[in-house]
Amino acid sequence: MSNKVEQQGFLTIAQNTSDVDYLRLAYLQAMSVKLIMPGSKYAVIVDDNTLAEVTDKHRAVFDHVIPLPHDYAKDEQWKLANEWQVFDLTPFKETIKVESDILFTRSIDHWWTAFRLRDVVLSIGCRDYQDNISENRRYRQVFDDNELSDAYNGLMYFRYSQTAFAFFTKARQIFLNWEQFRDGILINCRDEQPTTDLVYAIAAKIQGIENCTLPECDFINFTHMKNSINAWPESTPWPELVVSEIDVPMVRINNVNQYHPLHYQDKTWATDAVVERFENELQR
């Protein structure tokens, strides 16, 4: 019996670590979804430790809190090894899966129509804060060396289907057999731990990139605040280099409105003041 109880919604994974409260980030993200796209459903997958931190405040904005049945990243600080489980755990027939440190500043409801052209849609490329498609390859050398698509897991879509099942089965195999893929197949890859972006790019190449992307829909991506993508020095956190302003739900960086989903990436940006402003707006 399928656990897909609703037609469509947003999903993230929140597993708290010793230095990042991912539940807090998911809560902020969920508020942005609810403010901008009223009626949207939102689900969060949590491990046992994070589940113990879920309060009534969180449940007021989360439509589904889903316990993680098997934690493949239990002993890891960077908990990526559970990503492939989203296919089984999502309560939605159609899912937009996002990383928890992405904030929505305007509706992407119209994206659903484009997503439905495929059973799986990966974001390709990303944008700088000035809304330019990034051409920076600092973080993407292994993708180029192996002729992989410029896939980003930060925002993706999948439909409950055989195609999506096959894709996530491949992702599972790559995650659980990483050394075999890294040492036996990839060129110039020294990553001790697989990143989801790389795993999904490999899975897409195996499955057929034409089955996993929509190159004609070049708006399906997000603004990435990593320093090099924005031509900023790596030595200083980006929130210290620019002026960011919030007029809930809009965010401005150096007076530039951020219309694409904002992958702020530096978790310290989501301060108490930011969370409180979204709470106050949602309660109005």
pLDDT by residue for the chain (284 residues), tens only, comes to 578 999 999 999 999 999 999 999 999 999 999 999 999 999 999 999 999 999 999 999 999 999 999 999 887 878 898 999 999 999 999 999 999 999 999 999 999 999 999 999 999 999 999 999 999 898 899 999 999 999 999 999 999 999 999 999 999 999 999 999 999 999 999 999 999 999 999 999 999 999 999 989 999 999 999 999 999 999 999 999 999 999 999 999 999 999 999 999 999 999 999 999 999 999 98
C-alpha 162/C-alpha 134 separation (Å) is 33
**CATH 3.90.550 for the 6-283 domain, yes or no:** yes
For residue 156, give the nearest of 122, 115, 125, 108 by alpha carbon. Answer: 122
For residue 264, give the nearest of 220, 225, 221 by alpha carbon. Answer: 225
CB 237 within 8 A of CB 266: yes
C-alpha 57/C-alpha 27 separation (Å) is 9
Mark out the alpha helices in 131-195 (DSSP H runs).
141-145, 162-176, 178-184
Give residue 209's identity as a one-letter amino acid code: I
Six-digit token pair at 272? Answer: 């108490």
Q: How many CA atoms lie within 13 A of 54 on its CB side?
A: 22
